Amino acid sequence: MRAIQLHQFGSVKELYLAEFPTPEPQDYEIRVKVKATALNRADLLQREGKYPPPPGESPIMGLEMAGEVEKLGAKVNKWKIGDRVCGLLAGGAYAQYVVIHEDMAMAIPPNLDFLAAAAIPEAFLTAFQALVWIAKLQPAETLLIHAGASGVGTAALQLSRLIGATTYVTASAEKHALCLSLGAERCIDYKSEDFADCIHTWTEGRGVDVVLDFLGASYLERNLKALGMDGRMVLLALMGGAQAPGINLGLILMKRLSLHGSTLRARTLQYKTALTHDFMELTWAHFASGNLFPVLDKVFPWEEVAQAHLYMEGNRNQGKIVLSVQ
């Protein structure tokens, strides 16, 4: 098969398309002919040598895919050849074929094509894990989502709307229209406004119940100020740095705050299959009805993967960037 590979860690110039061994499914795995995959910031980090795949996983980039079942493991009984599936991977999606455990694959709703389906797994499962499993977001609670127009942000906005929470987001001004269309109550231009001050005003000093953050150090102090009593923050990335000196820990104590860090890629198969099951229980009928949907910003042919990476590095996307695989 062909796959996108690296000459060495570094810039987009290191990406190239070439032959790579086709994976063989184990007893409970299916092999999928990939029709589309989607970009995640983890791909950029892996390309730079900063986020290696878990031991034993494919060295090929790509954490999600959509395609057709092409081969069955000896003990698979949930799928048949030709079924349309999408799913979360620990790696390997930048390729013509992938293997995935039968319990991790999700049947693509009839109303979605492969390009749309490829944009669901990573963003929506990450958002579901953060909001439902970790933060335990409840109806009528308030939520602040940073990077509201990102893949995970657009997924979290829709899930919070489904749950019945009131959601505020940070995003650059040109992305506010999208966020509002997905259910945001109000938007904050992080380039010109202080989100902690906005939240204080809009909640009349109460603060929000939950913060979903990707920035880390650069936002931590203001996140603590924006949270209300018994508030919960879920940290999913460190785009703004990992070291936060001078932070007033008294806010955590006095407000009884909970801070949670989480990743998904290195979780156990048992964890990820349970997550996938619970996610589908809550959402899959809504995807089939169109009430939930992946937000696609741009589709690149996979031969243009370098341009796709540069597009994401420039923070130009509103929603997901997808690669069509031939």
Give the pair of three-digit tokens for residue 199: 């939240």
Q: What is the pLDDT of residue 181?
A: 97
Total of domains in the chain = 2
Find the CATH number of the domain harbouring 234. 3.40.50.720
- The type of residue at 94 is Y
My answer on whether 226 and 282 are in the same domain is no
pLDDT at residue 79 in the model: 98
The residue behind tokens 């690296």 is 6
Same domain, 256 and 160: yes
Closest CA to 160 of 194, 177, 179, 183: 183
Mean residue pLDDT across the chain? 97
For the chain, the 3-state helix, strand and coil shares in percent, each to the nearest 5, are 35, 25, 40
Do 144 and 257 reside in the same domain of the chain?
yes
Tell me which residue range forms the domain holding 69.
Answer: 2-120+265-324
Ramachandran region, residue 11 (left: φ > 0; alpha: ψ -120 to 50; beta: rest): beta
Residues 79, 28: contact at Cβ < 8 Å? no
Q: Are residues 191 and 225 in the same domain?
A: yes
Neighbours of 238 (CB within 10 A): 15
Q: Domain end: 261, 292, 309, which one?
A: 261
* Same domain, residue pair 208 and 162: yes
Identify which of 301, 264, 299 has the alpha carbon closest to the alpha carbon of residue 4. Answer: 301
Q: Are 52 and 46 in contact (CB under 8 A)?
A: yes
Q: Over its length of 326 residues, how does the chain's per-residue pLDDT go in tens digits?
A: 999 999 999 999 999 999 999 999 999 999 999 999 999 999 999 999 999 999 999 999 999 999 999 999 999 999 999 999 999 999 999 999 999 999 999 999 999 999 999 999 999 999 999 999 999 999 999 999 999 999 999 999 999 999 999 999 999 999 999 999 999 999 999 999 999 999 999 999 999 999 999 999 999 999 999 999 999 999 999 999 999 998 999 999 999 999 999 999 999 999 999 999 999 999 999 999 999 999 999 999 999 999 999 999 999 999 999 999 98
Looking at the fold, whether 127 and 254 belong to one and the same domain comes out as: yes
* CA distance readout (Å), 266 to 63, 90, 106, 279: 11, 7, 20, 18
Q: What is the spatial distance between Cα 28 and Cα 73, in angstroms, rounded to a whole number?
A: 5
Instruction: Dump pLDDT digits (tens) for 109-123.
Output: 999 999 999 999 999
Q: Are residues 218 and 252 in the same domain?
A: yes
- Among candidate residues 233, 261, 289, the one where a domain is terminated: 261
pTM: 0.96
Phi and psi torsions of 270, nearest 5°: -60, -40
- CB contact at 8 A, 47 and 75: no
Q: What is the CATH number of the domain that holds 298?
A: 3.90.180.10
* Contact call for residues 100 and 32 (beta carbons, < 8 A): yes
DSSP E strand stretches across the chain: 2-6, 15-19, 29-38, 64-72, 84-88, 97-101, 105-107, 142-145, 166-171, 186-189, 208-213, 227-235, 258-261, 296-301, 320-324
